[in-house]
Structures are given as C-alpha cells and as structure tokens.
Structure 1
Amino acid sequence: MALIPKPFRKYKLGPPKGDARQRILAQWRGVDFAPIEKGQAMRARKASELLPKVLKDMRLDNHRSDAEVVKVWNNLIDPMIVAHAQPTGINKGTLFVSVDSSVWLNEIVRYRRKEILDRLQHSFGRDFITKISFRVG
C-alpha cells in the first residue's frame, strides 16, 4: 500500500477577514478599510478620567461657589440688607453685589461694608473673598 501524501493547506495572504458586514463593505468600496478604521477608532475611557476636564470646561466649580455665596449671604446677612442687595458674582476675590437703590448703596457702603466683609471672610476665608464691590442695578 502506497502512502498518499496529505493535501497541503492553503494559506491565505493578507489580513484576516472580518465578519460578513466588513466583507460586503470592502467589496462595495473596492478597498478594505477595516484595518484603518480599527486603528483610528477612539478607545473607550473611564468616566473618572474625563469628568475633571468636563467640569473644568463647564466651570461648574465657579457656579457652585457663586451659589454657595448666595446661600450664605441669605442666611448670614441682615434680612433688611438681603431685601435690597444680592451678590451677582465673584471674580479674583472680589464679590460683586447689586443694590436696588442709591440710598441703600450709601447705607451699606458707609455703615455695613466692614461688617459684611468680616462675616463672609469668617465663613469662606480671607483668600476667597478679599473685597466687596457694590453697584446700583
């Protein structure tokens, strides 16, 4: 009995083919872009890696600190002053406060500015609020 040689395997050249969808797209395009698309695909990243940058871009920490100042302002300052003056924002340590009339602006600036600044600095620290700017508006 003679030994019949085993049929040799056919080796395919080129990258391995993907699923049926990939093959059909490659035929339709005339070019197989699967390896290029796979290389250019963005890798999934953890939310914990992305969240700090997103929050920084949205400046949510600034909005949160503004909201916290308004909350403390409403609870800490005299209700008569709160009725006529509200903080509008904070920038580089300066708290901007809008006052509804020039009479109240004069009253607050002359007699209450130091007291308000001391109370807010006691709550937030001297570095967070360094001065207060009052405006009619």
Structure 2
Amino acid sequence: MSRPKPIKNIIIELLKAYGLKDKFDEYLAIAYWESCVGKEIASHTTPVDVENGILFVQVDSDTWRNELVFFKHEIIQRLNDRIGKPVVQEIKFY
C-alpha cells in the first residue's frame, strides 16, 4: 500500500496535469498582494491581473502611483518570495 499524500501535493499535481499551475501561481500574486504590501498600500490599490509575468495594479491616485514606482522591485521580490518562485517580473501601476 502506498503512503498517503498531503492534499497540497495532490492539488498541485492536478493543477499541473490540467495545465493550470502557472495560472494558479499568477493568481497567488493577486491573493498575496495585501500581505506583501500592507493594509495602507492595499487600501489604495487593486491588483487586477497577471499576464506574461506582468502584474497590473490599479491605483486610486497619481500620488500613490508615483510612490509605488519607487518600491516596485521590493514588492516584486516580496511577492515572488511568498509564492516561492519568480512569477512576477514587472508591475504596471495605472
């Protein structure tokens, strides 16, 4: 009899089998946004989509957008560290 597998591993295997693992990893960038940037920044931003390694984030003001550009590389690093692989290569604030 084989040993039971953790549910996490089973889900990852299913995602890979159906070709959905990359899209799931992209979703994680959106799901982890608030925990990576904090509540203050999250209250002024909305992560919308990840496409070809680019995370698109809607920002509620030009002031916040300009501020976030300075922290872009740090945010990318935090997101990728949290996801466990380099999913986000760029962030476009709009």
1:84 to 44, 55, 59: 44
Within a 5 Å distance, the mapping from 1:8-87 to structure 2 comes to 62=23, 64-87=24-47
Shift of 1:69: 2.1
Aligned-residue sequence identity (percent) comes to: 29
Measured in 1, the distance between the counterparts of 2:79 and 2:56 equals: 13
1:96 to 56, 60, 73: 56
Measured in 1, the distance between the counterparts of 2:39 and 2:49 equals: 20
TM-score (norm 1): 0.48
Shift of 1:66: 4.8
Aligned residues: 77
Measured in 1, the distance between the counterparts of 2:51 and 2:27 equals: 14
Measured in 1, the distance between the counterparts of 2:68 and 2:80 equals: 17
Measured in 2, the distance between the counterparts of 1:115 and 1:121 equals: 10
Give 3-state SS (helix, strand or coil) of 1:103's partner.
helix
TM-score (norm 2): 0.67
What whole-Å deviation, never above 9, does each CA across 1:40-70 have from its counterpart, x for those lacking one?
xxxxxxxxxxxx9xx66xx7x73x4454222
Moved segments of 4+, more than 3 Å: 64-67
Given that 2:29 and 2:88 are in contact with CA atoms closer than 8 Å, whether structure 1 keeps it comes out as no
More strand by share: 2
Partner of 1:19: none
Gaps of 5+ in 2: 1-14
Q: CA RMSD in A?
A: 2.3
